[in-house]
Amino acid sequence: MSTPVEDSMQGLVVILDEANIRLQTEVASLTMLLYDWMLTLNLEVNYVWKRGFSIPKALYLVTRWFPIISEGFGIAVQSLPNPSLKMCRYYLSIWLPGTQTAQIFIVQLILVHRIYALYNRNKHLLRMLLVLLLFTSVAATTTISIQIREEKASIINELAPGIPICGLSQTNNLDFAWAYWLPIIVFESVAFSLVAYKAIKQWGVKMLPEGRSATIGGKLVAVLFYDSFLYFTSVFILFGASTFLFRYTSYSIFSITLGPVFALISILACHMILNLPSAYEKTRQGHYHTPPIPLSAITLKDPSTPVPSSVDKSTGGILGVIDSPLSSIVV
């Protein structure tokens, strides 16, 4: 039969093991982000760095680099030999929830931008989506802010004398932090419904019917739908699993998954932005058998604007090919 001292020591070992696993998952998450960045560096140079300012460019840069900076800072704090209590409180109560909430908000702005494009720049729909995004973001932020205020007193920088660690001495007061994900899932569900409705209305169950040669515009809109479907499917699984883990397991297990979840969200969002111009260039070369040329032609067109012959009318005038800077690409 174990003694109280042995039980206490065993508890310390478990906590240290969980902290070590959490640090390792954050290192793995940072590695994932950097590896994906290296894989897409050529696309980033061609479609981002060589072009002027645009909303997609700004969203891409924030989505790509913000998680890298956040993960790097988190690894640095958890690797400190003697972190101060002030540093631990800043990291756990301000930096971590703040950067994660901001990252989700930026990715949801990308979704709003894409839906705006799919619905022919419908400003009424844009305003409704922005209002919904505002309300769900405020709800999520309020939930996490209340929990932060309650957890501040339990933040520690030492597990025991001589055992430095940034963590929480108790997590019993985090009783409804799982509700943070609910407003986010509500917005994602509405966004997914809008994309799915447009896809079914436009093509039915098949994006490109058999026996029909898709035009450049048709293929680009198909890329928009396929990317969105992959993103929504992944996000529902990730957010649903995160909510389940926090609600029915321990905070320690939940916190271990945060790094990979937000890394995957960032990677999916970056690919959503890069895939459209990449698909345009490849499709154009295949149609016209031309060598690679600088992209300078994808814009949104008003529904009243005549659709060029190079764009299938079945796309509803969503995308056109005209002379304009690449900075006008909307994805």
Examine residue 4 and state whether it is found in any structural domain, yes or no.
no
Residue 88 within a domain? yes
Residue 65 belongs to a domain: yes
Q: What is the pLDDT of residue 65?
A: 94
Task: Assign residue 84 the CATH number of its domain.
Answer: 1.20.1070
Residue 88 has which token pair?
Answer: 């631990």
Task: Name the helix (H) or strand (E) containing 255.
Answer: helix 251-288
Q: Would residue 5 count as lying in a domain?
A: no
Residue 34 pLDDT:
96
Give the pLDDT confidence score for residue 146 in this predicted structure. 82
Is residue 117 a part of any domain in this protein? yes
Residue 329 lies in a domain: no
Report the distance separating Cα 70 and Cα 65, nearest Å: 9
The residue ranges of the chain whose pLDDT is under 50 are 205, 208-212, 293-301, 303, 307-331
CA 102 from centroid of its chain's CA atoms = 10
CB 219 within 8 A of CB 263: no
Q: What would the pLDDT profile of 149-187 be if each residue is shown by its tens digit?
A: 777 777 887 877 777 888 777 665 566 667 788 898 899
pTM for this predicted structure: 0.78
Confirm whether 275 is domain-assigned.
Answer: yes
CA end-to-end span of the chain, whole Å?
64
Residue 324's pLDDT is what? Answer: 33
- 3-state helix/strand/coil string of 290-311: CCCCCCCCEEECCCCCCCCCCC
Residue 173 belongs to what domain range?
18-292
pLDDT at residue number 30 = 96
In a domain, 137, yes or no: yes
How far apart are the C-alpha atoms of 66 and 47, rounded to whole Å? 19
The DSSP secondary structure of 173-199, one letter per residue, reads T-SSGGGGHHHHHHHHHHHHHHHHHHH
Number of domains into which the chain is organized: 1
